[in-house]
Amino acid sequence: MREGLRSLLEKQSGVEVIAEAENGRTAVRLCSELKPDVVIMDITMPDLNGIEATRQIISENPGIKVVGLSVHSDRQFVEGMLKAGSSGYLLKDCAFQDVISAVQAAAANEIYLSPRVAGFVVEGYLRSAAKGESSVSAALTAREREVLQLLAEGKSRSQVAEILHLSPRTVETHRREIMYRLDIHNTADLIKYAIREGLTSLET
């Protein structure tokens, strides 16, 4: 997918592809190093999902624009990306011209949404505003979201500690705090919550 996308993008006048990343954590690092104008971000990736990677990239580099690209049209993924600061959301079965249009819109500081998701995104925002709905982004800290994703993907406490450069004891403290805040009392429900909120998916 990345190879095909890169090949098509490189044929476009005024577009230069400067890097590729196999996961969200690498994407965050490369953005800090290379400062691209626009990032095309997959949503469901191991170790650090596209939503959290987008949040970190824009927090550290406010001038970078991110366009989400996913097979998921579910509300939680689309809204998660937009709340993280994304400038657009595309479905992977979209026409290539839509990708170009989204990149151009992002570069011009505009929002671009696939037609199939635009309608319920607006409806979802209106509903959330009316109900004052909370989300995982509000309930947990950035570090807790990272820990939750890795635990939901089956990583052990020591593996999470190594990936995030923390001590296993700190990871366990985060895990207990996450379960307390979310009022979740077992690992199975924690995994279900992470999937439902778009932090990870059964495909990762």
What does the pLDDT look like over 153-173, one tens digit per residue? 888 889 999 999 999 999 999
pLDDT at residue 204, as a whole number: 45
Measure the CA–CA gap between 165 and 39, rounded to whole angstroms. Answer: 26
Spatial contact of 57 and 75, defined as CB atoms under 8 Å apart: no
Query: Tens digits of per-residue pLDDT, 44-80?
Result: 888 899 999 999 999 999 999 999 999 888 878 888 8
Residue, of 85 and 118, whose pLDDT is higher: 85
Query: pTM of the full predicted structure?
Result: 0.70
Measure the CA–CA gap between 90 and 6, rounded to whole angstroms. Answer: 16
What is the CATH code for 2-131? Answer: 3.40.50.2300
Asked if the 136-196 domain carries CATH number 3.40.190.10, the reply is no
Residues forming CATH 1.10.10.10 domain(s) in the chain: 136-196
Residues forming CATH 3.40.50.2300 domain(s) in the chain: 2-131
